[in-house]
Amino acid sequence: MQKWVVQMTWFSLLKMPNPFGGKWEDLTRDEYYSMDDKNKSNYHDSMRVKFDKQIKEVVAPRKAGQAPPATDEQIRELRELSRFHGRQSSRYRQGSSREMSYSFEDETNRQQHLPRFDVLERRKPTTKEMYDSYTRKQKYRYWARKGNNEGNRMAMRIRHRMDTNPNYTPPFEGDELTEAEYSDKYLHRDVSEYDNFTDGEKRKYHKRKEARLRRAGGDRDLMLFHLKMYNKLRRGNFPTYPTPEAEKEAEQ
């Protein structure tokens, strides 16, 4: 016996009644939250197709130079609704742990992404001039997008550093600083201020330098110098210096 497989199309989905017998677009909030995830996904797919169709209807005349049937803001709102329903449906298809929401107002677990389209055209890539004019929050979103959308490891590292250090704002080109270089540049006082360090800051400085050299198997004499300075500070009342060169200069 031959089996017939009916392929579900967007058009048939739009025409398919919801589990309560009405049109998908007439589904109420209470009905939505009583459905299983598969039907919720069908609802969002149907609504996204509906808004995508409306977008085409209002964008085509604008591109042809005809009288605009919708304002820029109205088109942006349609695009936002289409993206909302697309996000919800993708959560079901991708097996996301985030729950789906009936409406944009219900959605509290959204990840922020810059839309690919503005009113009519795709958004232009961010330039250095645009980036330099951004607030720190906008710069954070820029790096978050690059990390999330492109899998850019440097962008992921930069976003983490911005998360944990409010004094760190990267340049447009980003940075390739190692953790040690980043720590020295952004988390600790510059060694040129050594004479103004507190004893506690000096101890941390020498301990940090000694530990790095030890882990890396670096210059043994330099490692022993920092260990000596650290021990002097622990005992107290001994002069210390930031580098071996500074110590030699003081002894001359």
AA identity, residue 232 = K
Answer yes or no: do 202 and 228 share one domain: yes
Per-residue tokens: 31 = 């009905």
Q: Looking at residue 157, what is its pLDDT?
A: 92
Answer yes or no: do 51 and 96 share one domain: yes
Answer yes or no: do 49 and 83 share one domain: yes
The answer to whether residue 247 sits within a structural domain is yes
CA distance 76 to 58: 11
CA distance 128 to 86: 31
Answer yes or no: do 154 and 234 share one domain: no
CA distance 92 to 94: 6
The answer to whether residue 186 sits within a structural domain is no
Smallest Cα–Cα separation from 204: which of 185, 218, 188, 193? 188
The answer to whether residue 64 sits within a structural domain is yes
Q: Looking at residue 169, what is its pLDDT?
A: 94
Task: Tell me which residues of the chain have a pLDDT lower than 50.
Answer: 1-7
Boundaries of domain holding 161: 128-180
User: Into how many domains does the chain fold?
Assistant: 3
The answer to whether residue 147 sits within a structural domain is yes
Q: Looking at residue 14, what is its pLDDT?
A: 58
Answer yes or no: do 55 and 91 share one domain: yes
Q: Looking at residue 4, what is its pLDDT?
A: 39
Which residues share a beta bridge with 56?
none
Residue 117: phi and psi, rounded to 5, are -115, 150
- Whether residue 227 contacts residue 216, with contact meaning beta carbons closer than 8 Å, is answered with no
Smallest Cα–Cα separation from 205: which of 221, 179, 178, 187? 187
Smallest Cα–Cα separation from 101: which of 111, 89, 93? 89
Answer yes or no: do 171 and 195 share one domain: no
The answer to whether residue 185 sits within a structural domain is no
Q: 143: which residues sit within 8 A by CB, 6+ positions away? A: 155, 158, 159, 162, 170, 174
Q: Looking at residue 223, what is its pLDDT?
A: 92
